[in-house]
Structures are given as C-alpha cells and as structure tokens.
Chains A and B, each alone.
Chain A
Amino acid sequence: MTTTAKRRVRTGLKGNSTATSAEILKDEAVAHLRQDREELLLEWLQSDRVDGVLWMGATTAEQEAESARIYDTCIECLDTLSYEGAEEFAQQMARRAVRGTITSERLLGGMLALRDVYWHSLLRQYFEEPKRLDEVLKLFESVINRVLVIVAEAFSRERERVIKAQQGSIQELSTPVLRLRNGLLLLPIIGMIDSDRARQVTEQLLNAIRDFRARVVVMDITGVAAVDSKVANHLIQTIDAARLLGTTVVITGVSPNIAQTIVTIGVDLSRIETVGDLQGGLDRADRLLGYRVILEEKAVTQAAPTTVV
C-alpha cells in the first residue's frame, strides 16, 4: 500500500511518459529477480567469493536464511527505491561483525558477488533488448551501489562506536585518584602522557582535591616511561593548578632516566617537592599532614601466625 503510494509520488514528480516506462521496466526486473530467487540464491552461495560460507560457525540452514534475507533486502530496495530496510539490516550486520561472526571483508565480498549474480541474471533476461538492458542496468547499478555504500558505512560507523567506547573506558581507567587518608590523595600515573591526557589528569585531580578537601597529593610517576619538555610542562601545570587550590604536591618515583632528561632540558623543579619512591613520598605526606605511623610490636606478633596459616 505504502510502496505503491511512494511510487505514485515519484512518477508524479517526474510527470512524463518515460518515467512510467522506466517504472514498468523496473517492476518487470524486480518480478524477474523475485521469480528466479531460489536459483540465484544458490548461484550466489556457490560463487567463488562466498564459497558456501558467509557466516562463520553458522549451520547451512542459517546461512540460507541469512543470505535469503540479504537477497530480499536488496530487491526490496530496488522495488521501493527506499533504503530504510537496507540501513537497518546493515547495522545489524555491523554489530555481528564487531562480535566476530562475520568479517567485513567477507560480507562486502559477498555483497559484490551478489551484485554480479543479479547483474548476470538481468543480462540473460534482457539479452535480446539492448536498449532496455541498458536502462535496467543503470537503475539497478545505482541502487545496488547505494546499498553497498550503506553497508560499508554501517561497518565503519559501528567500528568507530566501539573504538570510542573503548577509548572512554581506557581514559577512565588510566587516571584513578585514590584516597589514602583524610586530606591525602594518591595519583599514580602510568603510561604515556599527551596534552589530552594531561588535561584530563589535571581535571580529575582538581575535582578530587575539592571533593575530598585534600591538603597533600602524592603523584607517583614510576609508571611513566619517558618525559620530554612538553610532558614535564604538563606535570608542572598540574602541580601549579593543584597549588592554586591550596594543595601541596609531592612527586615520587622519578626514574634515573627521567631525572636525567629533566636535568638536561633544564626544567625548573626547584619549586616542587620530590621524594625518591612512593614509600618516602607517603612518609613526607604524613609529616606534612601531621600523621605519625606507629608500629605496634604486639600486632605484628599476632598477625604472624595467621599469615603462616
């Protein structure tokens, strides 16, 4: 009902007799491809590119059902000249591709093979009438190309979506701000620091300082492999920003490598408190905050048996 309505609108817009003859031709081609469906499906599944396997690990019945769905979707697009069905289907395929049941290479290859199957079938059908063949192929090619573009786009969109989600979770994981004691935060930095990440680290740290009313932050950079002047500047900016909030930053875990770079490039770290390792840094922080850690002999002797058991 709706498809005939759409068709009428379209012919109405074109409004001349050639459009109508094209419509008739298109309907004819669609009817033909629907009629030879079983044969063509078989031809497709057995073509070189597909070789009987479109989906890895699917049964033959599933393969057939899925390939029939692709086939019908393409014909539907050709018939109605609307691509909503194709878009929906392409998105589903892309989801499955990301989950690994089908590769984009295989699906796109399969679609190309399907295009050839249609193409040959139309060629055979209109072999005797070159003019009509030309017309029908023109129509068909524009539709199938559009479908291919839709599928390819859905794939790249889906992949981008997954990458974005992963980036988000990596970012969240990469800069935890940990509470150690009242007024004391620990910020372990691991891996590469670039401008984006430095900004994000600063932001998270400052928000944590405000939320937990921290007075001292121990920033451990044991996990930072290398430092250049840019990274050093980022660190200093972070420290300066923290200081504006009234917080002292203690840097720990400066490796010999990094120490040498910092000295060589001449970054001024004199305003910044640095302590050898995390343990020393925590001691320093405790002193700044007025904490004293006392070792109780009793606790140690009591704890010993439980650790042995």
Chain B
Amino acid sequence: MPVPILVQSPYLIASVQSALTDADLIGLQNDLFAEAQKRRSHGVVVDVTALDVIDSFSTRTLRSLAAMLRLRGVETVIAGIQPSVAMAMVELGLSMQDVRTATDLEAGLAYLRARPHGTVDRGQ
C-alpha cells in the first residue's frame, strides 16, 4: 500500500498507515523526494506510529531518504517510533543516529517550525 503524502506547506507529512513492503519503502523514498522538489519544501515528517516492525531495510531506507533530502536542504524527522519498536531496534543494533526523531507528529512539526530556515541539523 503506497504511503499518502500530505502537504502542509512548507512541510510534507508522510503518514504510514500499514506495514510496508520493500517496494513500498522505495516508492515512499522516490515520491517524497519528488514531492519535496516540486513543492520546495523545507522539511519532511515521516510518521511511523502505525508500524509494529522497523527492520534493517526500513532503517536504511529512511536514513538514506534523510541523507538525500538533506542534500537539497530539506530536514527529515522520523516521528512516532513505538517503544517496543525502539527496543527491538536497539537490540538489533539499528540506529537512526544521523536522523532527527520525534515522539509524535506534533513534536516533529514543532521541531521543524522552531528551526531557522535553510539550516539542517545533523541529528543529535
């Protein structure tokens, strides 16, 4: 199932609704990049609240998505990772060190709004 991308200019919100296949993830990466380019977005929030599993491929895709967008001056925030998912990720050694994370969509948008335009934070 493709991920709907909501436009909240100057930001984009990708709201993941169900488990993602590898193809969905690649599609999300391409769609988001194209959309950010088209809308000249300043930031992107990927809301993963609905995901029960985030595996190594998802982690890598999300990280490379953030790296790609950063090259265009777009900041990416991954929002709403579930506690159990976070624990599993840490145990598997998957990290999002160079990507911003936020508790939920609201916190992610708040972070983007608080950030001066044109600067990109390289994570914590």
Contacts and interface: CB of A to CB of B under 8 A. Distances in A.
A70 B95 CA distance: 64
Contacts of B83: 203, 206-207, 209-210, 241, 245
A214 to B, nearest CB: 7
Given A214-B103, A271-B97, A245 B124 contact: no
B36 interface: no
B68 interface: no
Listed residue (A202, A213, A240, A244) with the most chain B CB atoms within 10 angstroms of its CB: A244
Interface residues of A, number: 22
B86 A213 contact: no
Nearest to B96: A244
Interface in B66-116: 77-79, 81-87, 89-91, 95-97, 100-104, 106-108, 111
A185 B97 CA distance: 22
Contacts of A213: 103-104, 106-107
A244 B81 contact: yes
| A interface SS class | helix
Contacts of A209: 83, 103
A245 B101 contact: yes
B87 to A, nearest CB: 5
B90 A244 contact: yes
A244 B103 contact: no
A248 interface: yes
A215 B79 CA distance: 12
B97 to A, nearest CB: 7
A248 B82 CA distance: 16
A244 B86 contact: yes
A242 B89 CA distance: 11
A210 B107 CA distance: 11
Nearest to A204: B83
Contacts of B104: 213
A242 B106 CA distance: 17
B95 A246 contact: no
Nearest to B79: A246
Contact of B89 (A207, A214, A215, A244): A244
B81 A245 contact: yes
A139 B96 CA distance: 71
Contact of A243 (B79, B85, B101): B101
**A-B residue pairs, 8 tightest by C-beta:** A206-B83, A246-B102, A246-B101, A244-B86, A241-B86, A241-B90, A237-B90, A246-B103
18 contacts: A203-B83, A206-B83, A206-B84, A206-B86, A210-B83, A215-B103, A237-B91, A243-B97, A243-B101, A244-B85, A244-B86, A244-B101, A246-B78, A246-B79, A246-B102, A246-B108, A247-B103, A248-B124
Given A244-B85, A247-B103, 17 more contacts: A206-B86, A207-B83, A209-B83, A210-B82, A210-B103, A213-B107, A214-B103, A241-B87, A243-B101, A244-B101, A245-B101, A246-B78, A246-B100, A246-B102, A246-B111, A248-B124, A271-B97
